């Protein structure tokens, strides 16, 4: 049936005869591309979209009780047919106003104003977010696109819904969101791929805060002082660190004016195996993509994560880091650094060698550090994943090794911006290579994993990330961040040998088995622990 007979300003359309509807009980009419189901009920004639908002099955085939509860028999979704409310907990059903004009049934198919529809979609997305309903989040994002609204706004809202529900601050979810946004912009014009990027980013955040309560931040404001902010992080004083950031924003400072303090705080220690510094780079990208409006919630959460971050240089095996930092450029062996010089060295010897080479140019030392971390990744012993009778300190796997590349990329970015931070960044990269050396084979199979065409490799790999088949967000986000960090480094005009190792390392990681759940190892370690300490 066509609406051509109706006035352009008249939303009412004739849908059929009341006599026919009463005889059949329910009918479907196709009107202007819509399938509308009409029901003769004890509450009068009611009309709704014939397609169930869950998976599109026909509601005409559903069950309707005397309370006007319409059940889709495919998955038992239930709707109040008088309002469209979902009684199952999912998407609402679109219902339409009905008028009876003699024996004629008329429907009002007018859409609500765009602003009202956008507000409803965002409310529905919030419900899907809180329920961690991946499928429904995808549908709501699709509805935003269909409405002509920029769907990136949904990620802005997701940050607002989550930043104060992360008990210990930033997680890989925010870091991954920055990388998904990078791919989002690279796929301009490809709506499907762009929605995958947004869905993965928002769904990961939703997964992190599922059933989490709110963890409020202090409302106190202090005049921002970079040294005082760094000192507050050092004291693990969240209240003062947050007050400093609130003061920065109240004073009109933007991210670029706070970034040096964040970088200093992130590199004050060998923090959380490099995550703090990685998150500073991701915060910058999120703010660049989403605007300064997200800066305050993101940075409050980032400060909280820095306060709670582990400081590995305080544990015995990394204590040489602080002495090495104090000895920077106090001695020199006069040798140009090369990645092979660090291969197989433990933490202390690796740190000594880096100090010996500290008079060398930063970019030469950086290339060597990136190269040896990539070589370690290429030589990672896959047998390590299957060992059972090992101490907790040896619970090292593929994802730990990938940080050698992602942290290296963050070091290059932040230390290029703030050159005074190069010694800390390079020595912390040394800690990575020294720690990981214990879990490598003697030979790194460069030839077996060699990548001949870097651009084609990254294009194919990124395409596969858009349909990654990973059940765990922690795995998919490591795939994503490792690939994008490696691409950044390969594009950064590195020595060809180092680029070759980075490419081969990522190629091996992507094509090797990844064991995540260690049931037998976990029980072995638990039994050893309780037997010793009761």
Cα(155)–Cα(199) distance, integer angstroms: 9
Distance between CA 64 and CA 284 in Å, rounded?
53
Sign of CA dihedral 65, 68, 69, 70: positive
SS3 498: helix
Other beta carbons less than 10 A from residue 360's beta carbon: 20
Q: Cβ atoms within 10 A of the Cβ of 342, count? A: 25
- Please state, in angstroms and as integers, the Cα–Cα distance from residue 103 to each residue in 14, 20, 21, 131, following that order: 11, 9, 10, 45
Residues 11, 13, 18, 23, Cα dihedral to 10°: -120
Give the whole-angstrom CA distance, residue 282 versus residue 410: 9
Contact 345, 434 (CB under 8 A): yes
Main-chain phi, psi angles of 313, to 5 degrees: -70, -5
Are 302 and 170 in contact, with CB atoms under 8 Å apart? yes
Q: What is the pLDDT along the chain (534 residues), one digit of tens a residue?
A: 444 444 457 889 999 999 999 999 999 999 888 899 999 999 999 999 999 999 999 999 999 999 999 999 999 999 999 999 999 878 999 999 999 999 999 999 999 999 999 999 999 999 999 999 999 999 999 999 999 999 999 999 999 999 999 999 999 999 999 999 999 999 999 999 999 999 999 999 999 999 999 999 999 999 999 999 999 999 999 999 999 999 999 999 999 999 999 999 999 999 998 999 999 999 999 999 999 999 999 999 999 999 999 999 999 999 999 999 999 999 888 889 999 999 999 999 999 999 999 999 999 999 999 999 999 999 999 999 999 999 999 999 999 999 999 999 999 999 999 999 999 999 999 999 999 999 999 999 999 999 999 999 999 999 999 999 999 999 999 999 999 999 999 999 899 999 999 999 999 999 999 999 999 999 999 999 999 876
Q: Where are the alpha helices (DSSP H) in 420-453?
A: 422-436
């Amino acid at each position: 049936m066509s609406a051509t007979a109706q006035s352009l300003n008249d939303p009412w359309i004739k849908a059929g005869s009341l006599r026919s509807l009463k005889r059949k009980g329910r009918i479907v009419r196709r009107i202007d591309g819509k399938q509308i189901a009409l029901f003769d009920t004890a509450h009068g004639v009611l009309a709704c979209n014939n397609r169930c908002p869950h998976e599109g099955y026909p509601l005409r085939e559903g069950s309707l009780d005397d309370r006007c509860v319409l059940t889709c028999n495919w998955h038992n979704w239930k709707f109040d047919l008088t309002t469209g409310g979902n009684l199952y907990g999912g998407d609402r059903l679109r219902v339409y106003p009905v008028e009876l004009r003699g024996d004629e049934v008329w429907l009002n198919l007018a859409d609500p104003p765009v602003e009202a529809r956008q507000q409803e979609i965002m409310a529905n997305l919030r419900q899907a977010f809180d329920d961690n309903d991946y499928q429904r989040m995808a549908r709501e994002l699709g509805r935003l696109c269909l409405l002509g609204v920029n769907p990136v706004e949904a990620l802005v809202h997701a940050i607002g819904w989550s930043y104060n529900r992360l008990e210990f601050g930033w997680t890989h979810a925010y870091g991954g969101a920055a990388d998904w946004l990078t791919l989002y912009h690279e796929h301009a014009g490809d709506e499907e791929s762009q929605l995958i990027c947004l869905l993965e980013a928002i769904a990961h955040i939703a997964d992190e805060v599922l059933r989490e309560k709110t963890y409020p931040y202090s409302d106190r404001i202090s005049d921002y002082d970079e040294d005082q902010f760094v000192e507050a992080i050092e004291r693990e004083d969240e209240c003062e660190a947050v007050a400093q950031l609130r003061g920065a924003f109240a004073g009109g400072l933007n991210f670029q004016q706070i970034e040096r303090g964040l970088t200093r705080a992130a590199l004050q220690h060998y923090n959380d195996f490099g995550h703090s510094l990685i998150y500073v780079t991701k915060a910058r990208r999120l703010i660049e993509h989403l605007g300064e409006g997200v800066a305050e919630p993101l940075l409050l959460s980032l400060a909280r994560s820095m306060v709670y971050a582990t400081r590995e240089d305080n544990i015995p095996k990394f204590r040489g880091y602080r002495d090495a930092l104090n000895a920077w450029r106090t001695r020199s062996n006069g040798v140009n650094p090369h990645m092979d010089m660090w291969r197989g060295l433990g933490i202390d010897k690796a740190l000594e060698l880096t100090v010996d080479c500290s008079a060398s140019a930063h970019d030469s030392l950086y290339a060597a550090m990136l190269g040896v971390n990539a070589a370690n990744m290429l030589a990672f012993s896959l047998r390590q994943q299957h060992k059972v009778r090992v101490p907790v300190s040896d619970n090292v796997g593929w994802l730990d090794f990938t940080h050698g590349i992602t942290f290296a990329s963050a070091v290059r970015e932040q230390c290029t911006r703030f050159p005074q931070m190069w010694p800390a960044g390079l020595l912390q990269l040394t800690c990575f290579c020294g720690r990981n050396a214990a879990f490598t084979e003697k030979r790194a199979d460069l030839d077996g994993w060699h990548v001949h065409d870097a651009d084609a490799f990254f294009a194919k790999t990124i395409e596969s990330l858009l349909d990654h088949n990973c059940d765990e967000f922690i795995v998919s986000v490591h795939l994503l961040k490792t690939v994008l960090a490696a691409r950044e480094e390969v594009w950064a005009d590195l020595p060809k040998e180092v680029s070759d190792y980075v490419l081969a390392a990522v190629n091996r990681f992507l094509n090797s088995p990844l064991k995540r759940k260690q049931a037998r190892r976990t029980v072995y370690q638990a039994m050893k622990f309780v037997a010793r300490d009761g």
